[in-house]
Amino acid sequence: MSIELVLVFIVLGIFVGFMAGLLGIGGGGILVPVLTTIFIHQGFPIDNVVHIALGTSMACIMVTSFSSLRAHHANGAVIWHLVKAMWPAIVAGTFLATFIAAQISSKGLAIFFSVFMAYVASQMFRSKRIQASGRDAGQAELGLVAFGIGAISALVSIGGGSLTVPYLNWRNIDIRKAIGTSAALGFPIAITGTLGYLINGIAAGGSTPQYTLGFVYLPAVLLVTIPSFFTAPIGARLTQSLPVQTLKKIFGVLLLVLSIKMLVSLL
């Protein structure tokens, strides 16, 4: 591995960790297209290149989300009874969806990823406040929503923040606590997603790139997660002091550009 590639992974980790803490978004929107581009350049098999990017991203998010979780918990921004109510269904949805992802081609996953990121980017540009629901969520609703969040998160390798935060906000949860609770739910998503992509990558057999375990490329995980562990708390602390709405719009444009670039690389 060249020193230039090492530096790219480190800078990527710094940025992803900071944005995960600041916006409550796990970082997969950045990691998946960037990793896909890098892996194509490295000569990874095109049939599995997006699967490896998804699995590697999930493994990276595992550390980032834990760091972000700690920071938000220290700030009193995690609603733990909601986390306890939602995590079992989130874990089930995430794990099952990794088996679905293993059966989809890289191009199919890239198209689904790009469409979803277009949705995420559109939400970044929303200036209208979400109309809150007038009633509390029941356990059945929380379970169904959590299952869906987990499934989609596995297919696009995100920590669930782009779905969890708007839902909790709609449910009359203060935006700061919605972000913190989303960060807490992102941790079991990342653990389960990583395990699922490990299992499915090993089960797929065939030749895999050096230093790859299942669908997880270990050097990228190491080089991205170390800096992201330290920058995620910084982003979390700055949630109230930086122009988050402006940053969201910039981040939305970046998501669109990277997704389009990934599609072009594969198609």
Of 12, 18, 14, 22, nearest in space to 243 by CA: 22
Rounded Cα distance between 119 and 128, Å, is 16
In this structure, are residues 157 and 65 in contact, taking their beta carbons and an 8 Å threshold?
A: no
> CA separation (Å) from 257 to 121, 234, 262, 264?
10, 26, 9, 11
Entry pTM? 0.85
Q: How would you write the pLDDT of the chain (267 residues) with one tens digit per residue?
A: 789 899 999 999 998 888 777 766 657 778 888 899 899 988 898 888 999 999 999 998 888 778 778 878 888 888 999 999 999 999 999 999 999 999 999 889 988 888 888 887 777 776 655 555 556 667 888 889 999 999 998 998 877 777 888 888 888 888 778 888 888 898 899 999 999 999 999 988 777 788 999 999 999 999 999 998 888 778 777 766 777 677 777 777 877 787 787 777 776
> What is the separation, in whole angstroms, between the first and last Cα of the chain?
26
Angstrom distance (rounded) from CA 46 to CA 240: 42
Distance CA 86, CA 150 (A): 10
HSE (side-chain half, CA atoms, 13 Å) at 125: 11
Give the CA distances from residue 115 to residues 4, 13, 50, 103, 206, in Å, rounded to whole numbers and listed in that order: 31, 24, 15, 19, 30
| In the chain, domain spans | 3-266
Structure tokens at 94: 């995430």
DSSP string of 37-61? HHHHHHT--TTTHHHHHHHHHHHHH
